[in-house]
């Protein structure tokens, strides 16, 4: 089988990563990429490192005005702003095209929360109902049958996956604290802008959007869904002076009666998950080990003195945190091996 | 007044910082610096950036064998390994020299804890009794009368100072979590060694010594002293891919009945402290703002949803976290203005 | 003597550096700083690291509309765009204020070259005649009597100073090649803009403006002035993934009959220059040794095989390459010790 | 065809890169990797990022004592020190195994030069005669028939390839100057050691081994071979504060009568070379464009004012500068498509 794929908004970091994955993906033919900035220009205009016939001779198209502007596709990846995804997801679904949306448009099932955190009305409520949240290891069954994937945010992937693994060992009636640190490719786009200039980021470190970050309700929603209780989350992202990767340090409280053996058993349950990789201890969870891969490395530390369980995880924000997980999901939707192109 | 000063172990990062401060300090004459590696060589052999007559023509001496090897001093800074400080602090005190010890030898008042965390016997118990813990803003009165200062560790300074400011607003019966991030100059010495090579640190991030770091009991001791209750601390240091600065993120629980106004009042109480600098919010606490200064920037975020109080602080680990605070303390011991040479 | 000083355009990197120097300068009172972006705001609005009463309570003023808007000054530093300097240098000179211009407005004595490289008409020809080129070690005598200094560019300072030291040993009838590498603070301003975003600079290296950089004619002019022959220069600047410093590698040809002893003699001649610092060989010329200082480190390598003389130098682009040299020049203009505030 | 491959000394940067390439190479089976440090340990002990069954379950063997210790191989890559290669290349050749030597043992055809620059006797003179220098695009014919490849150094690849392209346009009777800049992965190995600690490299830049670097005679030899004249080279390598890539800036003199059209024609001649990629101008030759690829990007600038031809090139030192080119050569030796596994 060959899957005919398009990418809307292909001129950014995620677009570049998807294009790189598809070059190694035996069953994908990339036939359509759009960009307002690079319209009518070859791939190499946006990504000079891809200046070679081996990367094909695809050109960027303008963004479509109407769905008929797009060629016949089997799947489309929306690497577009939230409002553009609200518009295009229903259109492509209507044309029988499977949609993997990488924006935040369909991640929050509560329209009021969406309004609060994204500043947008949820104008596609019917489409929202069809959306499956694409945290692959958690929702694999639903993803296989889905027509529309809400691909998870980078911080939610890093934070929620390992907390889900240990979900039965944590007392979710108490607060969960996530102190997360990201390289710049996760914190912003390709364009230079306030806060991401070299002289601002280099030899510096700080938190941002501590009071209100749109990934906080997404993490809470996923943990609440997994546990059946409303999870109270304190989430703080930070900007690392580097490029690639997210390290998430979660601090939670041990459920009474649980112990080290229970943690080993929980990790054992996901032993066959290709992309979940248990490390021997939290200090061995390093960004260097996951860069340019689709792995989520994780480990825990159980502090008997305080009852705090520390769960540390690392991902490449552009792979498992965006493009890599999106392709995992696409593979499942089309019934081909989940790891194709991403290992 | 001119204070005749010596530095034992002056060839490292802290020695360099002290030498830089003394060059600007109107009342210090630096007369004695020792180093095994640079013995008999000029200052510029260790610090080529200081190759100029303006920086004096001091040479490194060998480490003393006996106290008589040292010239007559008013004060000595011990930038030596812990065991060397155990030996030399009593000797210099015996010779009537005021001692500022920058090692960990006299920080922990409990010899058993010292053994556990430093792997050394506390062989100078009598001297230990004379040691005043040099967290300047907290112990100013005792420091003024002290003959021996146990200069605080870099992480303890960053973490404990702002928690002390807000000590009446935190429920210390619950765990306190400190997630701290340091540049490489705080995490290791001048020598290349395992874990601090360029290819290991660059474009990487991870925790280290999560299970057991010698600064954990030091922070807990200081908080317990300030609050009268045994503080349960979960402390995790991380290594940033940069050089200078520590950001400490403390997560604690609000004491029932306390509110935003109480935080404002607590900050107001220390308004006149030169080196404590309140920022408008936690995201405005940045390493770039404190580098090459003796300031401790801090702010808090009160999350009403979880009851978590987040207290973020930033220092330059070589200044307020080591040499700068050491000179603050020396100034107090000699009755000269506390800020001399460090602002 | 107290010199009343103003800075026009004080909100950028050079302004920050000047303000830092004046805080340590015993004979300067900084009374006037202007900025369009920070008008009516305190110093700390632009430079949060300076948020402290110790740094004074100076506020930014609007840029002046007419000269009467400025207070009475003894000296003004123009850290303004070239066209603003063309306007304000004559105005301040007319009001009896000594001017140190840090822009490129008065560096090139040939108005046609100025037009070609700066894209501006030289509208202040009479003022241009009064300008003394402020390469301090070369033009000290003229600087002492000057009313207007054209402060040198950062690359010209790095490249021309050591070539001037060895000027009698180089065959200037043959081309001189300068391959220069700069940190980002020398290559651009404070604002994020194309080419200086974190993701563009980090883990990258390249040349820029190889075909035409405005510092090329400035270097050639200074070398031609020193040697009496028209120097043919090939100048290529590069952007380093770091912040502070310029390393200039000049490749020239040995004048027939000259040898190693002549190089030693030439270096000996400038031995008393405070800020020229000979290193033992070119590999010992490092950016780390000059950062945050006003030194120009230099060394040469004479390759007998090819007849190529390699002259390597390093400066801090914000100090000796901008603010530091500007203050050296101001000191000379007011007859106070040249090193005041900059060592 | 499946090529059974071994790597001696597989625990370093080049070993890691080779293993990564072979994971994508359809016709290679990697059966033997040796390491003294990691003997008897799995791949992931040396390279934690490769901790996954997908990367096979190969273990490191001890280095062989005698050739019989090694399994039956079709090809062996020697990522060993020079003296180990001198020993093992003849042994493997004698056993009928094709050898790609990544050390410097067989690069210099002149044993006296080898002694001078490597400090070793050339003890394998007969083997040396069989060695083909593996600059693929230049020696493709000989490589196809070779039993032993001396794989080029990283700087020689970066510098010599584009100079070879333009060899007829340069006056090689005059000196050629190469000012080269490398990330740390090219300048040293995996181990922390003097000069490659984080605090030494970060926020720093300098040259090293200016007077004598072992890649200088290798570049000169290759250019002399290509032109028939003894090329006089001035070569200076520098260490960039980053990880991956080499930028080589060559300055040479135009051959009389040559012009811009001749440069276009020379580039046109190599248009079909997959890995030689002409850029529109020298400022567009960036390390970011070649990282993690086997491309050599290049461009020239012809300065009519000085007669200097500036030839700039960029490679990934671990790919085209080491492992990538080695695999290109192996592919040719076994008659399979040259780009297999490296594009």
SS (H, E, C) chain D: CCEEEEEECCCCHHHHHHHHHHHHCCCEEEEEEECCCCCCCEHHHHCHHHCCHHHCCCEEECCCCCHHHCCCCCEEEECCCHHHHHHHHHHHHHCCCEEEECCCCCCCCCHHHHHHHHCCCCCCHHHHHHEEECCHHHHHHHHHHCCEEECCCHHHHHHHHHHHHCHHHECCCCCEEEEEEECHHHHCCCCCCCCCEHHHHCCCCEECCCCCCCHHHHHHHHHHHHHCCCCCEEEEEEECCCCCCEEEEEEEEECCCCCHHHHHHHHHHCCCCCCEEECCCHHHCCHHHCCCCCCEEEEEEEECCCCEEEEEEEECCCHHHHHHHHHHHHHHHCCCCCCCCCC
Start-to-end CA span in chain A (Å):
19
Interatomic CA distance for residues B244 and A203, integer angstroms: 7
Nearest alpha carbon to residue A238 among A217, A218, A215, A222? A215
Instruction: Using CA coordinates, name the residue in chain A closest to D341.
Output: A24
Question: What pLDDT does residue A194 have?
Answer: 60
Question: What pLDDT does residue A53 have?
Answer: 84
Question: What pLDDT does residue D186 have?
Answer: 82
Chain B and chain C share a number of CB contacts under 8 A equal to 37
pLDDT band for position B188 (50/70/90)?
A: low
Q: What integer is the mean pLDDT of D253-261?
A: 97
Q: What integer is the mean pLDDT of A19-39?
A: 95
Enumerate the residues of chain A whose CB falls inside 8 A of the CB of residue C191: 197
Question: In percent, how much of chain D has pLDDT > 90?
Answer: 94
Query: Rg (Cα) of chain C, in Å, rounded?
Result: 20
Instruction: Using CA coordinates, name the residue in chain B closest to C273.
Output: B52
Per-chain mean pLDDT for chain C = 96
Of C236, C241, C285, the CB nearest to D249: C236
User: Has residue D192 got a pLDDT over 90?
Assistant: no
Enumerate the residues of chain C whose CB falls inside 8 A of the CB of residue B286: 48
pLDDT band for position D196 (50/70/90)?
A: confident
* Residue of A138, A143, A154, A332 with catalytic role: A154
Question: What pLDDT does residue D56 have?
Answer: 80
User: Has residue D148 got a pLDDT over 70?
Assistant: yes
* Most B CBs within 10 Å, among A183, A203, A280, to test the B interface: A203
Question: What pLDDT does residue B131 have?
Answer: 98
Shortest alpha-carbon distance between residue A340 and chain D (Å) = 12
Question: What pLDDT does residue A56 have?
Answer: 80
Question: What pLDDT does residue D255 have?
Answer: 98
Per-chain mean pLDDT for chain B = 96
D3-129 CATH pick, 3.30.2010.10, 3.30.30.60, 3.40.50.720, 1.10.390.10 = 3.40.50.720
Question: What pLDDT does residue B96 have?
Answer: 98
C155-317 CATH pick, 3.10.310.40, 3.20.10.10, 3.40.50.300, 3.30.360.10 = 3.30.360.10
| Secondary structure of B253-316 as H, E, C letters | EECCCCCHHHHHHHHHHCCCCCCEEECCCHHHCCHHHCCCCCCEEEEEEEECCCCEEEEEEEEC
Task: Look at D197 and B197 and tell me if their CB atoms are within 8 Å.
Answer: yes
Q: What integer is the mean pLDDT of B218-233?
A: 97
The token pair at A77 is 């990846």
Interatomic CA distance for residues B205 and B208, integer angstroms: 10
Task: Look at A206 and B249 and tell me if their CB atoms are within 8 Å.
Answer: no
**If you ran DSSP here, which 8-state letter would residue C204 be given?**
-
Nearest alpha carbon to residue C104 among C164, C160, C149? C149
- Residue B306: φ, ψ to 5°: -110, -15
Give B128-139 pLDDT, tens digit per residue: 999 999 999 999
Of B199, B200, B243, the CB nearest to D199: B243
Give B5-25 pLDDT, tens digit per residue: 999 999 999 999 999 999 999
Catalytic residue IDs of C: 154
> Residue A131 is inside which H or E element, if any?
strand A131-133
Weakest mean pLDDT among A63-67, C186-190, C240-244: C186-190
Give D88-124 pLDDT, tens digit per residue: 999 999 999 999 999 999 999 999 999 999 999 999 9
Question: What pLDDT does residue C253 have?
Answer: 98
* Three-state secondary structure call for residue C128: helix
Chain B residues 190-249 within an 8 A CB cutoff of chain A:
200, 202-211, 232-234, 236, 238, 240-245, 247, 249
The token pair at A304 is 């008997």
Question: What pLDDT does residue A319 have?
Answer: 98
Question: What pLDDT does residue B1 have?
Answer: 86
- Residue B61: φ, ψ to 5°: -95, 165
Give B63-106 pLDDT, tens digit per residue: 999 999 999 999 999 999 999 999 999 999 999 999 999 999 99
Question: What pLDDT does residue B75 have?
Answer: 98
- Residue A335: φ, ψ to 5°: 70, 20
Task: Answer for the pair B177, B252: CB distance below 8 angstroms, yes or no.
Answer: yes
Question: What pLDDT does residue A1 have?
Answer: 85
Query: Residue D6 pairs with which residues in a beta bridge?
Result: D32, D76
* Sheet order of strands, C233-239 included: C206-207, C233-239, C176-182, C246-253, C308-315, C296-303, C276-278
Owner of token pair 């984080």: D198
Question: In percent, how much of chain C has pLDDT > 70?
Answer: 98
* Partner A contacted by C14 (CB < 8 A): no
Task: Answer for the pair B148, B89: CB distance below 8 angstroms, yes or no.
Answer: yes
Question: What pLDDT does residue A275 have?
Answer: 98
Task: Answer for the pair D294, D328: CB distance below 8 angstroms, yes or no.
Answer: yes
Per-chain mean pLDDT for chain A = 96
Q: How far is CA B245 from CA A183, B63, B288, B293, B317, in A?
A: 18, 30, 8, 10, 5
Rounded (5°) CA angle B142-B148-B153: 85
Of C192, C194, C243, the CB nearest to A196: C192
Give A194-240 pLDDT, tens digit per residue: 678 999 999 999 999 999 999 999 999 999 999 999 999 999 999 99
pLDDT band for position C190 (50/70/90)?
A: low
pLDDT band for position B193 (50/70/90)?
A: low
User: Has residue C281 got a pLDDT over 60?
Assistant: yes
Question: In percent, how much of chain A has pLDDT > 90?
Answer: 94
Interatomic CA distance for residues B70 and B290, integer angstroms: 35
User: Has residue C29 got a pLDDT over 60?
Assistant: yes
Enumerate the residues of chain A whose CB falls inside 8 A of the CB of residue C196: 192, 197-199
Question: What pLDDT does residue C208 have?
Answer: 97
Weakest mean pLDDT among A55-64, C1-10, C33-42, C285-294: A55-64
* Partner D contacted by A52 (CB < 8 A): yes
Per-chain mean pLDDT for chain D = 96
Nearest alpha carbon to residue B299 among B325, B260, B328? B260
Enumerate the residues of chain D whose CB falls inside 8 A of the CB of residue A288: 49
User: Has residue C188 got a pLDDT over 80?
Assistant: no
* Partner D contacted by A293 (CB < 8 A): yes
Question: In percent, how much of chain A has pLDDT > 70?
Answer: 98
Question: What pLDDT does residue C53 have?
Answer: 84
Question: What pLDDT does residue A190 have?
Answer: 53
User: Has residue C193 got a pLDDT over 90?
Assistant: no
The token pair at A51 is 């200046």
Task: Look at B289 and C339 and tell me if their CB atoms are within 8 Å.
Answer: no
Give A12-26 pLDDT, tens digit per residue: 999 999 999 999 999
Task: Look at D343 and A54 and tell me if their CB atoms are within 8 Å.
Answer: yes
Q: What is the pTM of this model?
A: 0.97
User: Has residue C150 got a pLDDT over 60?
Assistant: yes
Q: What integer is the mean pLDDT of C26-49?
A: 96
User: Has residue B189 got a pLDDT over 70?
Assistant: no
User: Has residue D179 got a pLDDT over 90?
Assistant: yes
Rounded (5°) CA angle A75-A81-A84: 65
A275 CB-side CA count, 13 A: 30
Task: Answer for the pair B315, B7: CB distance below 8 angstroms, yes or no.
Answer: no
The token pair at B58 is 């001091």
Question: What pLDDT does residue A188 have?
Answer: 62
Q: Is D296 a catalytic residue?
A: no
Question: What pLDDT does residue D194 have?
Answer: 60
Enumerate the residues of chain C whose CB falls inside 8 A of the CB of residue D284: 206
Domain ranges of chain B: 3-129, 155-317
């Amino acid at each position: 089988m060959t899957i005919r794929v398009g990418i809307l908004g292909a001129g950014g970091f995620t677009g570049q990563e998807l294009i790189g994955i598809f070059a190694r993906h035996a069953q994908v033919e990339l036939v359509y990429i759009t960009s307002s900035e690079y319209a009518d220009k070859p791939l190499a205009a946006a990504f000079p490192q891809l200046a070679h016939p081996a990367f094909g001779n695809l050109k960027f198209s303008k963004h479509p005005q109407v769905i008929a502007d797009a060629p016949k596709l089997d799947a489309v990846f929306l690497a577009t702003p939230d409002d553009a995804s609200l518009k295009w997801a229903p259109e492509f679904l209507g044309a029988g095209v499977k949609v993997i949306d990488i924006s935040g448009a369909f991640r929050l099932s509560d329209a009021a929360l969406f309004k609060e955190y994204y500043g947008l009305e949820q104008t596609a409520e019917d489409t929202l109902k069809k959306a499956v949240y694409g945290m692959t290891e958690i929702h694999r069954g639903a993803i296989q049958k889905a027509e529309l994937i809400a691909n998870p945010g980078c911080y939610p992937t890093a934070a929620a996956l390992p907390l889900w693994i240990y979900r039965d060992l944590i007392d979710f009636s108490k607060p969960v604290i996530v102190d997360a640190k990201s390289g710049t490719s996760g914190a912003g786009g390709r364009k230079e802008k306030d806060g991401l200039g070299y002289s601002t980021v280099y030899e510096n470190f700080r938190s941002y959007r501590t009071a209100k970050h749109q990934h906080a309700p997404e993490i809470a929603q996923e943990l609440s869904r997994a546990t059946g209780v409303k999870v109270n989350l304190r989430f703080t992202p930070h900007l690392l002076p580097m490029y690639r990767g997210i390290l998430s340090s979660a601090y939670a409280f041990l459920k009474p009666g649980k112990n080290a053996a229970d943690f080993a058993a929980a990790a054992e349950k996901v032993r066959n998950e290709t992309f979940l990789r248990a490390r021997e201890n939290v200090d061995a969870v390093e960004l260097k080990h996951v860069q340019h891969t689709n792995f989520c490395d994780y480990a825990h530390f159980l502090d008997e003195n305080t009852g705090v369980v520390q769960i540390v995880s690392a991902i490449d924000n552009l792979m498992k945190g965006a493009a890599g997980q999106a392709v995992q999901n696409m593979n499942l939707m089309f019934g081909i091996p989940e790891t194709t192109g991403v290992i």
